[in-house]
Amino acid sequence: MAARRPLIVGNWKMNGLTASLAEATALAGKVQAQAPQAELGLCPPATLVAAMAMTLKGSGIGVGGQDCHARAAGAHTGDIAAEMLKDAGAAYAIVGHSERRADHGESDEAVRAKAQAAHRAGLVAIVCLGETLAQRDAGETLKVVGSQLRGSLPDDANAANTVIAYEPVWAIGTGRTPTLEQVAEVHAAIRQDLKARFDDGAGFRILYGGSVKPDNAKQLMAVADVDGALVGGASLKANDFWPIVEAKGFK
């Protein structure tokens, strides 16, 4: 099997106005000048998906949505279909982020339906998993993450249309990160489960997310079975995001 191409994705969350597209332009300039081997993506708020796709056209940087509805169309005020993201120029859709699971009560079943919708529309689903601090302290991390993986991945998932992102909930936006040994343990368990369920399980990319920053990216990206990163706050500025790209994007 071919080596897994690293993937670094920035999740802007509920941040960014039209003026923020200048950061995407700046990132594109860095890519043009240095040509990283990693695949890069930015997931801005829905209001910027189309504009960012136009801004980054031809740059080699993909654009994604931060969520999608399970249905292709219908009476779902305020929601966005995966087909709409695709039409706007998106290549990815993040589904099951812990903030969606917590703030909107999304179950594994709902996340699985959204991943299927992303596949239906021709998008790569970035499926997020992760434990809370209470679950970590109770020694339930592998049980929780394994259950989320089984429940959130549809049967049509494969290494081409699905990426896994492990984001310990207690590390997102807190400045705290697991030890390298803890990251390695979870990623190894995810890999084992993927290989047991899917013929191409060894080819799925598994990203680490949760307070990934320029000063810890190199260590985190060197961990076995960490194929890249899903980056939050540090992706809002090109100069902060680029050192993370450098940590995994060049041989």
Band the pLDDT of 122: cuts 50, 70, 90: very high
| pLDDT single digits (tens) 233-250 | 999 999 999 999 999 998
Q: What is the mean pLDDT of residues 86-101?
A: 97
Q: Any idea which residues carry the catalytic annotation?
A: 97, 167
pLDDT at position 174 is 81
CA-based Rg of the chain, rounded to a whole angstrom?
17
Q: Tell me the whole-structure pTM to 2 decimals.
A: 0.97
- For the chain, percent of residues with pLDDT exceeding 70: 99
Which domains does the chain show, CATH number per domain? 63-222 (3.20.20.70)
Judged against a pLDDT cut of 90, whether residue 21 lies above it is answered with yes
| pLDDT single digits (tens) 129-173 | 999 999 999 999 999 999 999 999 999 999 999 999 999 999 888
Q: What mean pLDDT value characterizes the chain? A: 96
pLDDT at position 2 is 64
Give the H/E segment covering residue 249.
Answer: helix 238-249
| pLDDT single digits (tens) 199-214 | 999 999 999 998 899 9
Angstrom distances, CA of residue 96 to CA of 84, 107, 215 = 18, 8, 27
